[in-house]
Amino acid sequence: MKEYLKHPVFNIISELSTKLGIETYVIGGFVRDIFLKRPSKDVDILVIGNGPGFALEIGKKLNTNVSVFKNFGTAMLRYQDLEIEFVGARKESYRSNSRKPIVEDGSLEDDQKRRDFTINAMAISLSKANYGQLIDPFNGLNDLQDKLIITPLEATETFSDDPLRMMRAVRFATQLNFKIHQSAIDAIVLNKDRIKIVSKERITDELNKIILSKKPSIGFNYLFDTGLLHIIFPQLANLYGVDYIEGKGHKDNFYHTLQVLDNLSKNSGDLWLRWAAILHDIAKPATKRFERGHGWTFHGHEDKGARMVPKIFAELKLPLNEKMKYVQKLVLLHLRPIVLAQDIVTDSAVRRLLFESGDDIDDLMLLCQADITTKNEYKIKKYRNNFELVKQKLKDVEEKDKIRNWQPPVTGDDIIKAFNIKAGPEVGVIKNRIREAILEGDIKNDRTEALALMKTVGEEIGLNFEQQIN
Alpha-carbon distance of 268 to 366, in angstroms, equals 8
Could you give the angle at the alpha carbon of 220 between the alpha carbons of 215 and 224, nearest 5°?
A: 155
31 touches 123 (CB < 8 A) = yes
Region 114-134: mean pLDDT is 95
Q: Which SS3 state, helix, strand or coil, does residue 248 take? A: strand
In angstroms, what is the C-alpha Rg of the chain? Answer: 30
Average pLDDT, the chain: 91
92 pLDDT band, cuts 50/70/90, is low
207 touches 232 (CB < 8 A) = yes
Q: How far is the CA of 94 from the CAs of 132, 163, 285, in angstroms?
A: 33, 11, 40
Q: Which SS3 state, helix, strand or coil, does residue 216 take? A: coil
- pLDDT for 292: 84
Amino acid, single-letter form, for residue 72: F
pTM confidence score = 0.85
For 310, other C-beta atoms within 10 Å of its C-beta total 15
Alpha-carbon distance of 19 to 13, in angstroms, equals 10
Which residue has better confidence, 399 or 437?
A: 437
Alpha-carbon distance of 274 to 197, in angstroms, equals 27
- pLDDT for 101: 58
CA atoms 123, 125, 126, 132: torsion sign:
negative
Which residue has better confidence, 177 or 339?
A: 177
Q: How far is CA 257 from the centre of its chain?
A: 14
347 pLDDT band, cuts 50/70/90, is confident
Residue 228 buriedness (CB in 10 A; 0-12 / 13-18 / 19+): buried
User: Does the pLDDT at position 58 exceed 70?
Assistant: yes
Please give the span between the terminal C-alpha atoms of the chain, in angstroms, as a whole number.
77
User: Does the pLDDT at position 339 exceed 90?
Assistant: no
Q: Which SS3 state, helix, strand or coil, does residue 38 take? A: coil
346 pLDDT band, cuts 50/70/90, is confident
Where is mean pLDDT largest: 101-115, 208-222, 325-339? 208-222
Domains of the chain: 2-146 (3.30.460.10), 148-232 (1.10.110.30), 412-460 (no CATH)
1 pLDDT band, cuts 50/70/90, is confident
Q: Exposure string (b/e) for 39-77, b if CB count within 10 Å is 16 or more? A: eeeebbbbbbebbbebbbbbbeebeeebebeeeebbbbb
